[in-house]
Amino acid sequence: MKLNGAQILIDCLKSEGVKHIFGYPGGAVLHIYDALNVCTVIDHILVRHEQGAVHAADGYARTSGKCGVALVTSGPGLTNAVTGIATAFTDSIPMVVVSGQVPSPVIGSDAFQEVDAVGITRSCVKHNFLVKNADDIAETVKKAFYIATTGRPGPVLIDITKDATIAETEYEGYPKTIKMRSYQPEVQVDAEQIKKAIAIIEKAKKPIIYSGGGSVIGNASKALTTLTHNTGFPITQTLMGLGAFPATDKQSLGMLGMHGTYESNMAMHDSDCIITVGARFDDRITGNLEKFCPYAKIIHIDIDPSTIGKVVGVDVSIIGQVNDVLQALIQSLDTKKLENIDSWWKQINDWRSVDSMAYRTKQGVIKPQTVIEALYEVTKGEAIVTSDVGQHQMWAAQYYPFDKPRRWINSGGLGTMGFGLPAAMGAKLADPDRDVACVTGDGSIQMMLQELSTMLQYHTPVKIININNGYLGMVRQWQEFFYEKRYAMSYMDALPDFVKLAESYGHIGIRVEKEADLKPALIEAFKQKDRTVFIDILTDPTENVFPMIPSGAGHHEMLLAGRDEMASTNDSGLNLV
């Protein structure tokens, strides 16, 4: 069958089972859009900015577990997409981004809307391709999806020149299989390593499971829960891992790291055996490496061999799909051989009784923590919550206990402000029957505001919870603690009237200024099943995120709200910022 390159591309995407593409047209992709226009099985979501397209595809992928797809034009279309691609890369999200490129004869001539897309994205994709020939499109698309979704997932860019989309060629259908001699993501779990790990686990008197984003992305929630229940071990989860193990289970110690719970961090510090599951010892988790887990033997389970020993030396590494490794551990582990850890639990419960998540309410102001607790109550803990980046992100992670994976969608690794709103749109398209809340702040929301327009056009009703404190709160907090309260450029003067703004985009706007109005407003908002509601909540502008490990400190040196004066950080700590 003779087809042009654009038609081949669309047929390939169809054959991959793609249902939604987030994109924005332009000169270099006009042929692709022409072919997409007559395709009835793929819905195209016309965003208002290419960064929004990639974040939406990302939110879609995180919610559904499928590969997200975005389509952008050459030049500025691609450069606008880069932040989104880097966000997905850092959090290992499966995604294929197709970008247009100028015609191949003019590549390198500084043509209109030309950038070196492959060069610009090289360090923030799992792989990328430049396709200059229609004959290569089908195989490249097959490779792109294969690479993006297997092994440690990540974004793959396909840059296609305009002439390749126009040229007609014989198309023999989408390849069924693909083989690449240089990429073999299937890994057999090494039984020897399982044995070594079990030998450590059996001797552990103070064990802890430390689980990360790999447990969510690797669909290992069930196995993780079984292992945790079988062993009776305490478990702590990273920001990216929340929900893989139910937060309301009594074995869950909550999040660890910079703004984790006291019990999580103290247990990590004192532990003699850490079972690391799909986590990568990020600096927000470890704090000062010299003080990190001084007594523990560390077992590290990961699909990516390069994460082993990258930051922290480990005693046993087990390479493989997290789910496969956990299954192997569950099968090989004789729980009768485990040490009695009653005294360890007693110690942990003592730390728990410190109640590190307690916060002081104040008459006349709404505390941001109260907002998240009310959101949890109103949605019965069943919503998908996306967030932007900053204080509100931490409060959402701390005060909304996630019991299921793929319900908490945030930019953990790159920390991309502007992620939350388009991600919520993608999440809603992936799971249309579920309530989706976007927890954001007055700073973050203004980075991707324009997507309110897309959300009206494509009918993706979400509830925007704007923690409005007038500040770039996390910046303000650090300035208060570490820069002697010199609040350099962290105050947002001249905020828009968010209620009118939402209304002008065709949505509902509600402002909440008193705590008494908070819950009724949320209830009212979530009743509006078919509408996007922007709930602008004026919260305490001086509130800080606690508990906190100041940069440069160890896990056992946490600061607790209202109990500790924040000491200024030392020089090595400032370097860690």
Partner 1 sequence: MRHIISVMLENEAGALSRVAGLFSARGFNIESLTVAATNDPTLSRMTIVSVGDDNIIEQIVKQLEKLIDVVKVIDLTATEHVERELLLVKIDVNPNTQADIDRQIDQFSGKIIDVSEDTYLIEVAGQSKKINEFLDSLDASKILEVSRTGVTGVCQKREG
How many Cα atoms are found within 13 Å in the side-chain-facing hemisphere of 405?
25
Give 118 or 560: the residue with its C-beta nearer to partner 1. 118
Binding mask 402-441 for partner 1 (x = CB under 8 A): ----------------------------------------
**Contact call for residues 512 and 521 (beta carbons, < 8 A):** yes
Residue 524: phi, psi to the nearest 5?
A: -60, -45
Q: Nearest approach, Cβ of 182 to partner 1 (angstroms)?
A: 4
Contacts 24+ apart (CB under 8 A), 294-299: 294/269, 295/206, 295/270, 295/271, 296/268, 296/271, 296/272, 297/200, 297/204, 297/272, 297/273, 298/274, 299/197, 299/200, 299/201, 299/273, 299/274, 299/275
> Interaction with partner 1 in 145-184: which residues (CB under 8 A)?
147, 180-183
**Contact call for residues 155 and 413 (beta carbons, < 8 A):** no
Among 1, 41, 105, 122, binds partner 1 (CB under 8 A): 122
Q: Which of 7, 16, 22, 50 is catalytic?
A: 50
Give 316 or 455: the residue with its C-beta nearer to partner 1. 316
> Is residue 118 part of the contact set for partner 1 (CB under 8 A)?
yes
Query: Measured between alpha carbons, how far is 100 from 115 in angstroms, rounded to an integer?
Result: 10
Would you call 113 a catalytic residue per the annotation?
A: yes
Among 105, 108, 305, 541, binds partner 1 (CB under 8 A): 305
Would you call 474 a catalytic residue per the annotation?
A: yes
Q: Nearest approach, Cβ of 401 to partner 1 (angstroms)?
A: 35
Q: Nearest approach, Cβ of 98 to partner 1 (angstroms)?
A: 18
SS3 101: strand
SS3 535: strand
Q: Nearest approach, Cβ of 513 to partner 1 (angstroms)?
A: 47
Applying CB under 8 A, which part among 60-68, 120-128, 258-266, 340-348 lies near partner 1? 120-128
- Indicate the angle between helix axes 322-332 and 191-203, nearest 10 degrees: 60
> Is residue 304 part of the contact set for partner 1 (CB under 8 A)?
yes
Q: Which of 474, 477, 481, 558 is catalytic?
A: 474
Query: Measured between alpha carbons, how far is 294 from 271 in angstroms, rounded to an integer?
Result: 8
Q: Pull the structure tokens for residue 407.
A: 């319900």
Q: Which of 112, 250, 290, 382 is catalytic?
A: 112
User: What is the arrangement of strands in the sheet containing 508-512, beginning at the earlier edge strand?
Assistant: 408-409, 384-387, 436-441, 463-468, 533-538, 508-512
Among 42, 43, 111, 127, binds partner 1 (CB under 8 A): 127
Rounded to a whole number of angstroms, the distance between the first and last alpha carbons of the chain is 57
Among 108, 294, 309, 520, binds partner 1 (CB under 8 A): 309
> Is residue 123 part of the contact set for partner 1 (CB under 8 A)?
yes
Q: Which of 113, 251, 347, 528 is catalytic?
A: 113
Task: Classify burial at 127, counting beta carbons within 10 Å of its beta carbon; exposed 0-12, middle 13-18, buried 19 or more.
Answer: middle
Name, in order, each residue with C-beta under 8 angstroms of 171's C-beta and a sequence gap of 6 or more: 1, 2, 3, 7, 8, 11, 138
Give 53 or 314: the residue with its C-beta nearer to partner 1. 314
Applying CB under 8 A, which part among 114-122, 286-294, 391-399, 433-441 lies near partner 1? 114-122
Applying CB under 8 A, which part among 121-129, 470-478, 508-516, 517-525 lies near partner 1? 121-129
Among 109, 188, 248, 306, binds partner 1 (CB under 8 A): 306
| Chain residues that interact with partner 1, rule: CB under 8 A | 118-119, 122-123, 126-127, 130, 147, 180-183, 304-306, 308-310, 313
Active site residues: 50, 112-113, 162, 474
